Amino acid sequence: MKVQRLRSTQILLLTILFLFPATGFGKLFKVSSGSISIQSAINVAHDGDTLFITAGKYLQHDIVVNKRITILGEPNAIIDAVSKYQGFLIQHDSVFIQGIQVSNTGRTAVTDMAGIKVINAKGVRIFNCKLINNSFGIYLQNSTACTVSNNLVQSTIANEINGGNGIHAWKSGNLLINNNVVSGHRDGIYFEFVTDSKILSNRSEHNLRYGLHFMFSNNDAYSKNVFQDNGAGVAVMYSNHVLMTDNIFTHNWGEAAYGLLLKDITDSKILHNRFIKNTVAIYMEGTTRVDVKRNLIEDNGWALRVQASCSGSNFNENNFLGNSFDVATNGTLMLNYFDRNFWDKYDGYDLNKDNIGDVPYYPVSMYSVVTEKIPPAMILYHSVFTNVLDEVEKVLPTLTPDKLKDDHPAMRKIAL
């Protein structure tokens, strides 16, 4: 009994100790638009102090945060970089910034101008900030264990060239990016050389290029995000051990748009996502050992485009509904395995009533083989001739890769 009571006191003490440096023990500086500049307030502050920025417009820029301080903003505390400069440059560990709005950074080709830039720091937290009309929104450079939560990152760029990314991370690790809403940038979220990080419950939409762009980033996970109406969908390239679960990829619709584009990916998992109304739901090139399991793939132009350079991937227990083409491929060799998926176009039978079709399903249609070889043949899309071709090929497969088949197609939609 006595031991336990001591423990709870200890916990209470520890909690107080942890909480107070941020708010209690340090000094509190109040900055309003009439008083001293934010930079000079930071200059006189010490580690553990708090800066409270009252509502108002601050025409200030390149604010260097080189101390372990907390910066809190009142609603409508707006830092305006007058389309020439950057907002905050955080260069110290464990800085906490919350509730600030940064607007109108400059746009140059020389430096990546960002609303909030974190440089060589650890444990920085950016919460509830608004980043409106900036080149780059939040920029993490060579930083570890940072958290970016509940931010709104918005811009309206006209073309890819003068626009930056919403949340940009480079050469970082152990990041947590969650609950942000990113729109109107070049890439919504961009990861390059970022490891062991998580991207959770974000919403990335109406970005010019990719909703999420992954390059050379290993051991990362992204879940429960929504990627909608992006110019080219989501791209995951040159990475391994990426876990993609419970995301929604929807309405990435256009000439060269993909729900999810995978290029040179190894040992990754795509589980329980929803792909709805994309031109191509999943495009795979040069992938090795990627598991695609229990996803819903509905109303897409192509459900899967698996190039012949992919190997060792498994496609199991996915639902394929209402796609114009189920699978397209550019070769006859197929080193990937399809098993126990539900295909709405399957018209086989199930004599022993075990809910598994007795004859294999061939998901590559004749016409999709033809158009993959000669794209101009797409002009015959939906003509009676090609419909007849497909039916004939179904009865007697000759041109379609015969190894690409699902030996155990589900008779009923799989409950996901």
Rule CB under 8 A: which residues touch other proteins? 253-255, 257, 279, 299, 301-302, 322, 324, 370-371, 373-388
Which amino acid does the sequence have at 369?
V
For other proteins, which is the closer residue by CB, 82 or 388?
A: 388
For other proteins, which is the closer residue by CB, 149 or 386?
A: 386
Separation of alpha carbons 258 and 281, rounded Å: 6
For other proteins, which is the closer residue by CB, 158 or 384?
A: 384
Q: How far is the CB of 249 from other proteins (least distance, A)?
A: 16
Separation of alpha carbons 164 and 118, rounded Å: 16
Separation of alpha carbons 160 and 256, rounded Å: 15
For other proteins, which is the closer residue by CB, 34 or 375?
A: 375
Contact 63, 79 (CB under 8 A): yes
Q: How far is the CB of 384 from other proteins (least distance, A)?
A: 5
Q: How far is the CB of 288 from other proteins (least distance, A)?
A: 27
Q: How far is the CB of 233 from other proteins (least distance, A)?
A: 13
Token pair of 367 as six digits: 């016409």
For other proteins, which is the closer residue by CB, 305 or 405?
A: 305
Any residues with CB less than 8 A from the CB of 408 and at least 6 apart, and which? 339, 340, 356, 357
Separation of alpha carbons 273 and 221, rounded Å: 13
Q: How far is the CB of 260 from other proteins (least distance, A)?
A: 17
Token pair of 86 as six digits: 């950057």
Classify residue 270 as exposed, middle or buried by CB count within 10 Å of its CB (0-12, 13-18, 19+): buried
Please work out, in degrees rounded to the nearest 5, the angle formed at the alpha carbon of residue 228 by the alpha carbons of 222 and 231: 105
How far lies 332's CA from each of 92, 184, 288, 316, 389, in Å? 55, 40, 18, 21, 19
For other proteins, which is the closer residue by CB, 78 or 366?
A: 366
For other proteins, which is the closer residue by CB, 315 or 367?
A: 367
Separation of alpha carbons 383 and 377, rounded Å: 11
Separation of alpha carbons 318 and 273, rounded Å: 10
Torsion (CA) 70, 73, 77, 78 in degrees, nearest 10:
40
Q: How far is the CB of 94 from other proteins (least distance, A)?
A: 48
Any residues with CB less than 8 A from the CB of 368 and at least 6 apart, and which? 302, 325, 327, 328
For other proteins, which is the closer residue by CB, 95 or 304?
A: 304
Q: How far is the CB of 374 from other proteins (least distance, A)?
A: 4
Total residues found in the chain within this entry: 416
Contact 286, 267 (CB under 8 A): no
Q: How far is the CB of 126 from other proteins (least distance, A)?
A: 37
Q: 231-263 burial string, b = 16+ CB within 10 Å, else e?
A: bbbbbbbebbbbebbebbbbbbeeeebbbbbbb
Q: How far is the CB of 386 from other proteins (least distance, A)?
A: 7
For other proteins, which is the closer residue by CB, 287 or 300?
A: 300
For other proteins, which is the closer residue by CB, 88 or 320?
A: 320
Q: How far is the CB of 366 from other proteins (least distance, A)?
A: 11
